[in-house]
Amino acid sequence: MTEFASALKSWRERVTPEEAGLPAGAGRRTPGLRREELAALAGVSVDYIVRLEQGRATNPSPQLLGALARALRLTDEERDHLYRVAGAAPPAAGLVPRHITPGVQRMVDRLGDVPLAVFTATFDILLWNPLWAAISGEVPRTTGLERNLVWRHFMVGSGPMDFDDQHAEDFASDLVAELRAAVGRYPGDPVLAQLVARLRAGSPEFERRWAVARIAHHRASRKTAVATAVGPITVDCDVLSVPGGDLRIVVYTTAPGSEDASRLDLLRVAGVPSLA
C-alpha cells in the first residue's frame, strides 16, 4: 500500500460521522466514515475512493485533493502531506487560501440555528450550512464564477437579497475595496488576476469603483431575503475573519422576538436543503 493510500484510509477511519455532519446510524462496524460517505462529501464515486485506497488510482487532481482534505478535516500540515504523497505540489503560500480548517468546519457544523457561510478572501463561497442555502436560495445551483460573490453582484445581479440604497452603495464599494486589498496580499495568484481583469472589462460599475483605489474591510449591514419559502426575512449580516487562514465567515442573525426571528425559526423547522 502506498503512503497516499495508507494516509487516506487512516484519516477516513478517524473522522466520525458526527464530525462530518452526518447521522451516525445504527449497526456501524466502520470506526470512522464509510467509503460511500467520504465519496459523497468529496463529490466523487465510491469506486474511485476504493481505487485510491487500494493504490490503483494515481495522480488525483489538486481539486480532488482539496475536497478530500476538507472532508477529512485535515490540518494545514496534513493537507500538505496529502498533496505531496499524491505527487502534487501543496497550495503555494502566495495563492488565496481555500483550505477549511477543522475549527472552521466545526463552527459550520454546530451553528445550524443561524445562516452561515465561509468565503475566501476574494469571496468565493467554499462552505455553507443548510439554513444559508434556504435563505439565499441560489447557492446549491451555482458553479464556477457564479460562486464568487463579487462576480455575482456585478455581473449577474444582487439575487434574492434586497438592500436599501445606502447599504447597496456601501456593499458594492466594500466588495471592490476588499478585492483590491486581496490583490495586494496575493499579487501572484493568477486566478485572482483573471477575476479582476474580467470584472474590469465586463462591468463599468466595477471599473468605476476600482479606479477609486479604495482599501477597506467589509462592514456589517442589514438586508432582506426576499425569496424564502416563508416570506421576506430581514437579517443583520456580520463578517468574521479567520486568523491565519484569511477566510471570511458570514453570519446572518435576526433581532430576538421579532417577526423576522419567527420566520427564520419557521424556515429552520420547515426543512432546509442538505449541506452541499
Domain limits of the chain? 3-85, 102-270
Q: What is the pLDDT along the chain (276 residues), one digit of tens a residue?
A: 689 999 999 999 998 888 777 777 666 777 789 899 899 888 899 999 999 998 888 888 988 998 899 889 898 889 999 999 999 988 877 889 888 888 888 888 888 789 999 999 999 998 888 888 888 876 656 667 888 999 998 998 766 677 666 677 888 888 999 999 999 999 999 999 999 999 999 999 999 999 987 777 666 778 888 878 888 899 998 888 887 778 999 999 999 999 999 999 998 887 554 443
pLDDT score at 276: 39
CA distances from 265 to 63, 133, 260, 275 (A): 36, 15, 9, 18
List, in order, residues 6 or more apart from 26 with CB less than 8 Å away: none
CATH architecture under which domain 3-85 falls: Orthogonal Bundle (1.10)
Mention the CATH class of domain 102-270. alpha beta
CA distance 215 to 203: 19
Task: Write down the pTM of the prediction.
Answer: 0.74
- Tell me the three cell numbers of residue 42: 468529496
Give 163-181 as a DSSP string: --HHHHHHHHHHHHHHHHH
